[in-house]
Chain A
């Protein structure tokens, strides 16, 4: 098992954000986490990557307990992530955004006097191509269109050569065209690199089209998990989540 969480818990004040979550992600597997706003999905990611400390429970990555490690160490072990809110380096070029992550992955960012612009260029270009940003390489990250910035986030995460990728709403705010493009891209990445992927998503079309397994969260608890077909036919899930989602989707 690539990633395993056991009984993860986190409260903010009196609010139970995450309450006893067991999550499992295997390599070459796409896992999606769905649930209404405030269900604790992003908090779960933050607990896994060490962004916030867990109250209880444990996170195992490749069998190793990583629960108390700081984010940079967890990241170095091979967990890449993207964020729900855009989180790039705005005043670095698209190319440099990815390159700086590559430096880190290769342990090159201690190099004091070599010329950065000539290092790892091929690898970075390759990553930019795979996320469809090759022609925007010279543009400042902050000046990219929203969808491009979302893809750049994936590019930054990929530069770390992760074995596990956590994407928080990778298609949020994208046009239908961009969404299907990005969905395809994510699917391809996982199959090609044989990595594990867990992602949070509100777009049910995306979720059902590529997920191997779906976890449904509600008020900090995991209320159901299973294959897409099982989730679709589960009445409880439908009543608290899918139904509402369909309504809001049709309302636009």
Chain B
């Protein structure tokens, strides 16, 4: 009677996974004592980009919507917090809470238009909208500071300590990723996966396709907004680059590198990509070239991403 209950495949290695998770968590908590400040900085970036990539993957890997514009919403989050802190001299808490709200509003407006098209047209629309956001940020000097960006953002003293910043990021990113994990494993998340698998079929099980795609878009925007806001607080600045399409492709590459069909794929992807980029750029001017080759090799050799590769080797089913 074992077979009757449908157990997701990962359950077979549940104990193994629990142990792995605890080790990773313990390591993350002990990290400030273990590594140098510059590496801790890199780890913070990994965490924030992991959240961004994970948010994108809610659309990409779970709903099957290829978005080329996540950086636009990420920048909305960053600039919302930056503007509220500098121009309106707001407290950090409302300034950070406003970021996902703003991202949700803009994400809803953008998403409402984008979900009207599918596949490559959807992708192009998301790209176009993120370019619009970039242009607004770039041109609207009075509010966004244009290409000078917004610098020396007044953040509380708490963030002057790199360890404090790190723990704050770890806690917030951890909560968000846990929330995302609950979402993808909820009935809602299952419905998104059904949309990914067969968007035409879901309408015949009574699912309003466009509405669910829009919901995925808005949820993704909310978490992207949080990631952007966090990066703004951590770096004390906001630049038009945050909205640039290359930032979007960074996030896409992280998802693909880690494996879009695994929840932890974007997390691993963010770590691999960020560490590769940082170490390579230290040693050579042509780091982008080497990074490109490395990514091509990784994608070719590990078809389902790093996490997919590892789980096939380690958690081989049955």
Contacts and interface: CB of A to CB of B under 8 A. Distances in A.
A90 B196 CA distance: 10
B283 interface: no
Interface residues of B, number: 34
Interface of A: 49, 51, 70-73, 75-76, 80-81, 83, 87-96, 99-101, 103-105, 108-117, 119, 121, 124-125, 134-138, 156, 159-160
Contact of B187 (A51, A75, A119, A156): A119
Contacts of B208: 70, 72
B4 A134 contact: yes
Contact of B209 (A51, A72, A117): A72
Contacts of B207: 72, 104, 109
A137 B194 CA distance: 16
A195 B178 CA distance: 43
B186 A111 contact: yes
A94 B6 contact: yes
Given A87-B198, A135-B3, A135-B4, A156 B205 contact: yes
B206 interface: yes
Contacts of A115: 182, 185-186
Nearest to A89: B197
A109 B206 CA distance: 10
Interface of B: 3-9, 179, 182-183, 185-191, 193-194, 196-198, 200-209, 212, 261
A92 B204 contact: no
B191 A104 contact: yes
Nearest to A142: B197
Q: 10 closest Cβ contacts across the A-B interface? A: A95-B6, A89-B197, A71-B203, A109-B191, A75-B206, A76-B206, A101-B205, A137-B6, A103-B187, A104-B206
B229 to A, nearest CB: 21
Contact of B188 (A73, A96, A111): A111
Given A89-B198, A137-B5, A138-B6, A112 B205 contact: no
B99 to A, nearest CB: 20
Given A95-B6, A99-B6, 17 more contacts: A71-B203, A75-B203, A75-B205, A87-B201, A88-B198, A89-B194, A89-B197, A91-B193, A91-B261, A96-B6, A99-B190, A100-B194, A104-B202, A113-B182, A116-B185, A116-B190, A137-B4
Nearest to A140: B9
A72 B204 CA distance: 6
Contacts of B6: 93-96, 99, 117, 121, 124, 137-138
